[in-house]
Amino acid sequence: MNRPALPTPDPARLAVLDEPALLAALHERVEDAWRLCREVHPGLPRPEVWCDLRGKCAGQAHFGRGGLRFNPLLYAENRLDFLVEVVPHEMAHWLIHHLEDGQLARPHGREWRTVMRRLFGLEPRTTHRFDTGRASPTPYRYACGCREHAFTARRHSLARRGRRYRCRHCMGDLVYGGRGGGGDTT
Ligand SMILES: [Zn+2]
Ligand SMILES: [Zn+2]
């Protein structure tokens, strides 16, 4: 197994950071990841960074806007894993996109997995295991015969008190399946 190419942040130090310091740590990590990518692709532009993602997605490479978006709530709740995994994950998308023919590559295809393994020394994972309960407005998972449904806390409590909900596609009753677990890193 490879060793992570970027230094692992000190979790005790991360735990006590206030919001501005936390944001600075994220920018610093993006900078480190970007510098590492420049070693294999010196012309790689520096991505802008936004902390404006909500819901279950931890991060997103936004090529139209020219940068990386991150989920501030999931970051604050999962500081170490976020810096160690999510930042390289999105930076790997950023790198691939700027390689010749990179836009033809599948999002988590061979090229992306190779960058994660060989350059960042990380296991390429496409989903995170963060608890999205507070980050998602609809954390309660219900299922019918055909798909999964996401309920808000309000709908969930009505269902718990006996209100019946049906799927408008298969007309089956919706059955509670637990709280939403991890989401996509994207
Ligand atoms: Zn259904
Ligand atoms: Zn991804």
Return the pLDDT at 182.
57
Tens-digit pLDDT profile for residues 80-136: 999 999 999 999 999 999 999 888 999 899 999 999 999 999 999 988 878 776 777
How high is the pLDDT of residue 1?
Answer: 55
The CA 133 to ligand 1 mean position distance, Å, reads 23
Ligand 2 centroid from CA 168, angstroms: 32
pLDDT of 9-45, one tens digit each?
999 999 999 999 999 999 999 999 999 999 999 999 9
Query: Rounded CA gap, 183 and 42, in Å?
Result: 32
Count of beta carbons in the 10 Å neighbourhood of residue 95? 26
Q: Which residues belong to the active site?
A: 90
**Domains assigned to the chain:** 11-119 (3.30.2010), 140-179 (no CATH)
CA 167 to ligand 1 center in whole angstroms: 5
